[in-house]
A and B are shown apart, each in its own frame.
Chain A
Amino acid sequence: MDTFEFIIGKYNYWVYIILMMIGFFAMIAKKNLAKKLVGMNIFQTAIILFFVSTGSKSGATIPIIEHGHGEAAHHAVTVAHYINPLPHVLMLTAIVVMVSTFGVALALLIILYRKYGTLEEDEIFDAIESARQEK
């Protein structure tokens, strides 16, 4: 396939990779703990985006069958008309996980802030060092 197809055709992968790398960069390079956390969030969101995007099909609609009870439930459906619901389901779980992780991390940040009065990584390290020197 030619370059055009490669870049534009697979745009969902490119978006997710770029977002993921932004998040990853933030987690590593930022000194403020809250920014690291935001980076983590972006990282996880990128992955969720990736999953969901893989379930989409061109020209397909949301995977809900109208009047799907009783008689209609036994008709065959053309799979190509409905986007894949499984990644959505998986990602619901992943979103919950992401939110819980975020919650735990935020709780940790609150503890850290109460203890050290700052969320800057180097200032916290300094505080720990000086506490250790005093001992």
Chain B
Amino acid sequence: MMEAVYSIKPLLAVLVSLTAACLILLTGERSKNLRETWTILASVLKFSIVASMIPTILKGNVIEYTLITLAPGLLLQFRVDAFGLVFGLLASTLWIATSFYSIGYMRGLDEHAQTRFFFCFAIALFATIGIAFSANLLTLFIFYEILTMATYPLVSHKETPEAIKGGRKYLTYTLTAGVVILLAIATMYHLTGTVDFRPGGFVSGHVSPDMLRFLFVALVLGFGVKAGMMPFHEWLPTAMVAPTPVSALLHAVAVVKAGVFCVLRVILYVFGPDLLHDTGLWLMLAYFVSFTIIISCFFALAQDNIKRRLAFSTINNLSIIILGAALLSGSAIKGAMLHIAYHGFMKITLFFVAGAIYVKAHKENVSELDGLGRQMPLTFGSFALGAMGVSGIPPLCGFISKWYLCLGALEAKEIFFLFVFLTSAFLDAAFFFPIVYRAFFKKAQETVKPHFDEAPMFMVIPLTATAVISLILGIFPNAFLPFFEIVTVAVQSILGG
């Protein structure tokens, strides 16, 4: 039933931002407006190409495009399947929002090195879509490393001593993880002769149990570093020293979601639910990430800096996604994949708000937010929506994904994890609620203006848009982009109908 359609669309989608990056570099500082136009054009074009692939995927087919053959069994190949399309759609949609937002942010603060910023952003998106559409572990790894390299200048953008240290820490964690992943991929190629993704896994039958355990740990921990799994999460809060658009798109959406995406690929398309179930590795992983889920909530409670608090919330949600996949039941996997998409929208709203607060009021800490909601109601209203969604309160879309995750825990007959989900939702509310409360209900400080004075429009419109989309997706799960349907197709292909 599943046929492979040959089309150049995956390559085009990937190349759009590469071309834009070159154009951005060439335009440079000479004409700022032209340069930003490239970014916006590219993001819209990329989104349209990716969206045009939806009908084929919904029919249950995959789109393939082979770049080059490296060796027998090793190809640089794109294969767009349902899961890849989910991530691809998420990244390309949110890039449009972030493009507008970052233009507003950079101009609002008159930041330096804007060309480098937009150039690296475009390359990062090139790599992200490449990751989404990779057909095998090697292609994935290549784009993964390109992503690391492209995001390093973005993390160190401010060039202050802390920014440089943050960049160094980021590199240390990700490069080390990268070489461990490389070793695991090479071993896998040596043992099985292939590294292609196959729904339901390709490793079983070739590998001894000990080697299996080693490979699983190496791959999951390696990709898990980028996905903020504890104890390798430290780079993520430190990377919050980057400008907010970077934190928003990359560290709430692209980079960390790429990490989580790769972990899910490893669980579902390399090892496969059956193999993991038989070896008991799923339970090991589930307990391991539960630890992250609970601890990160407590860390978040302790942070005063808004972005750091959001960073720990991201870590929390990423591990929730991994837990969902680790539970291996239909609903849990569905919830995990949905959460990748929905959480992206909600979290990016929250980060956009943090940036807007910084640009407008130059405030970075929760304790300084008193009364600001009255000055910037749209901004904080969107924050409230996003926060409700991340906590899993209906009618936001976060509720839908959390619902499926809890259902999945019940299906897998593991009540413990149901408690983990519920506890984390409760703690989420505990650290988000104070922000909303302080903004709207506390007495304002002197610096707060009594009338409406929002951040620049370029920033407010994207953040309101993503907040409203989160709301609409909660009520109509297939509005705008049929995430729900695509995820259903993906789960079906893995679990075999």
The answer to whether A and B touch directly, with their CB atoms under 8 angstroms apart, is no
Which B residues fall within an 8 A CB radius of A? none
Which A residues fall within an 8 A CB radius of B? none
